[in-house]
Amino acid sequence: MFRWANNDGKKKDPELFQTVSDGLKRLYRTKLFPLEDTYRFHDFHSPALEDADFDNKPMVLLVGQYSTGKTTFIRHLMEQDFPGMRIGPEPTTDSFIAVMHGDQESLIPGNALVVDPKKPFRKLNAFGNAFLNRFVCAQMPNPVLDSISIIDTPGILSGEKQRISRGYDFAAVLEWFAERVDRIILLFDAHKLDISDEFSEVIRALKNHEDKMRVVLNKADQIGTQQLMRVYGALMWSLGKIVNTPEVIRVYIGSFWAQPLLVADNRKLFEAEEQDLFRDIQGLPRNAALRKLNDLIKRARLAKVHAYIISALKKEMPNVFGKENKKKELIANLGEIYARIEKEQQISPGDFPKLSKMQEVLAGQDFTKFQGLKPKLVEAVEDMLANDIAKLMTLVRQEEAAMPSQVVQGGAFDGTMNGPFGHGYGEGAGEGIDELEWIVAKDKPTYDEIFYTLSPVNGKVSGAMAKKEMVKSKLPNNVLGKIWKLADVDKDGFLDDEEFALANHLIKVKLEGHELPADLPDHLVPPSKRGQ
């Protein structure tokens, strides 16, 4: 039990706990697990959490139909082959492959993996040998894997036959991973956009994890701009039918492999999208503790609702006769029990488990072994949600402040960070960064003509005079104010001919759709002001 969770009136110090994961483990063991265990939460929803679930690195789950480029995407991120990797136009990846960091390259089979207490996969044992024979862990030394682990999945196929022949519940396995990963990336091929029945089922199984989901429209370089617009619209329409949420899932468009672009018309778009996706993935280590905290809160809310449901069913059961008939009646009327609990306990409808799934699992349960409501167990979870979690948030912020530079590095992440191939290098305010001449000089004669029409005094124009010209750009005042601050290099409240030319250059940069720099780059400083 946390010392700062005791009601002894003393000041509670979160520094008593070394890490957030240590705090989460103790909270789970002492407050949440007893409630889960009492009301058989693990039989209905999700296996019990273990220490490895709290200690593991952030994980990225890749899901998609066959030949959408999932394995190639991993290869692109790491810039290195991994053990067990197979790439081809046909369905090549027939296994779940957890790509993780290791001192040397190795391939660990599923049955050995689920008995390793240091890996967060022990509870996958419940899916049986049919799954474990299709599950491996590829370990290798790679700087990307120092910060994250990546889960490659079998390509999703079409038709009932393929789904049955897997021998295990594919959607249930993906749902298990979805609960534990930090990011779910759904990959689509711009050339074959059809969403199969199994893929639809998988996306619906991930319904409670929309906050983790991102969509990648891959191989977009193989079609022209007009076709790409149509494909993007069709994808959004298809997703809208399956993912029933008012929010739009973020879609990244690009070609995620290290080959020349076939149609280079949208190169800048692909570069910008890749950078956005990379930034999203790079931020996972920094936000990992917060994600685990968020997942524990979601789990605790579900466990509390589950306890109310099970205890309500127990209360309705007869002591001696008619138990089986009453069980069938209760399952059929489960929706009414939901409504009653929602009203009595003031619980949001979104916290309740899916009705049809709950009815299906209840059909195989012995209601006589259910427990009645134990208020102390529920109160412990409520106290955890109301007090302990809030205090643990303080420790999360402290850890984030102590490790501000904790981002994914290496592989493709390093290729676009620095140098001339960094995103936006030599564009906008960065134009002319490598040139010996001042980049503004080529348009300065034009700007000088305007400058001398403003009647400069002692070679300078006042702010009022400069404003008359600058507002013709129709940019908002806050933007023009920033341009003025950047252009008035000597901070004297006036603009000379070079500073006026610089102001017009920055206006041009903004009008072309680029962002203004926070500080004036060295290459944009007027020649007469350098070295001052």
pLDDT for 216 equals: 93
Please state, in angstroms and as integers, the Cα–Cα distance from residue 166 to each residue in 66, 155, 172, following that order: 15, 12, 12
Q: How far apart are CA 126 and CA 310, in angstroms?
A: 23
3-state secondary structure (DSSP) of residue 514: coil
Task: Report the pLDDT averaged over residues 520-524.
Answer: 90
pLDDT band at 11 (very low <50, low <70, confident <90, very high): very low
DSSP symbol at 388: I
Of residues 395 and 333, the one with the higher pLDDT is 333
pLDDT for 4 equals: 41
Closest among 251, 244, 172, 176 to 213, alpha carbons compared? 251
Question: Has residue 125 got a pLDDT over 60?
Answer: yes
Phi-psi region of 333 (alpha: psi -120 to 50; beta: other; left: phi over 0): alpha
Taking all residues of the chain, what is their mean pLDDT, rounded to a whole number?
85
pLDDT for 336 equals: 92
Question: Has residue 90 got a pLDDT over 60?
Answer: no
pLDDT for 366 equals: 87
Please state, for a pLDDT cut of 90, what percent of the chain lies above it: 38
Which CATH number is 20-48+290-400 given? Answer: 1.10.268.20
pLDDT for 422 equals: 63
Closest among 156, 165, 116, 164 to 136, alpha carbons compared? 116
Question: Has residue 38 got a pLDDT over 90?
Answer: yes
pLDDT for 398 equals: 78
Q: Which long-range contacts (CB under 8 A, 24 or more apart) does 471-475 make?
A: 473/507, 473/510, 473/511, 475/507, 475/510, 475/511
Question: Has residue 329 got a pLDDT over 60?
Answer: yes
Task: Report the pLDDT averaged over residues 134-147.
Answer: 92
pLDDT for 184 equals: 94
**pLDDT tens track for 204-244:** 878 778 888 999 999 998 888 899 999 998 888 888 777 76
pLDDT band at 10 (very low <50, low <70, confident <90, very high): very low
Task: Report the pLDDT averaged over residues 372-396.
Answer: 88
pLDDT for 161 equals: 47
pLDDT for 376 equals: 93
Domain 59-283 has CATH 3.40.50.300: yes
pLDDT for 420 equals: 60
Q: How far apart are CA 458 and CA 216, in angstroms?
A: 58
pLDDT for 88 equals: 61
Q: How far apart are CA 32 and CA 34, in angstroms?
A: 6
pLDDT band at 488 (very low <50, low <70, confident <90, very high): very high
The residues that bridge with 99 in the sheet, in sequence order, are 138, 150
Question: Has residue 116 got a pLDDT over 50?
Answer: yes
Closest among 486, 488, 490, 493 to 518, alpha carbons compared? 486
> Poorest-confidence range of 108-112, 247-251, 468-472?
247-251
pLDDT band at 80 (very low <50, low <70, confident <90, very high): confident
Q: Residue type for 524, please?
A: L
Residue boundaries of the structural domains of the chain: 20-48+290-400, 59-283, 428-524
Of residues 155 and 186, the one with the higher pLDDT is 186
pLDDT band at 14 (very low <50, low <70, confident <90, very high): very low
Q: Is 0.95 surpassed by the pTM of this model?
A: no
pLDDT for 12 equals: 40
pLDDT for 5 equals: 42
Q: Which CATH architecture has domain 428-524?
A: Orthogonal Bundle (1.10)
Q: How far apart are CA 151 and CA 57, in angstroms?
A: 12
pLDDT for 195 equals: 77
**pLDDT tens track for 260-314:** 888 888 888 888 899 899 989 998 888 888 888 888 999 999 999 999 999 999 9
pLDDT band at 151 (very low <50, low <70, confident <90, very high): very high
Cβ neighbours of residue 267 under 8 Å, at least 6 residues apart?
A: 261
Task: Report the pLDDT averaged over residues 336-360.
Answer: 90
Question: Has residue 421 got a pLDDT over 80?
Answer: no
**pLDDT tens track for 349-382:** 888 988 988 999 998 888 888 999 999 999 999 9
DSSP symbol at 517: P
Cβ neighbours of residue 318 under 8 Å, at least 6 residues apart?
A: 326
For the chain, how many helices (H) and strands (E)? 23, 10
Please state, for a pLDDT cut of 70, what percent of the chain lies above it: 90
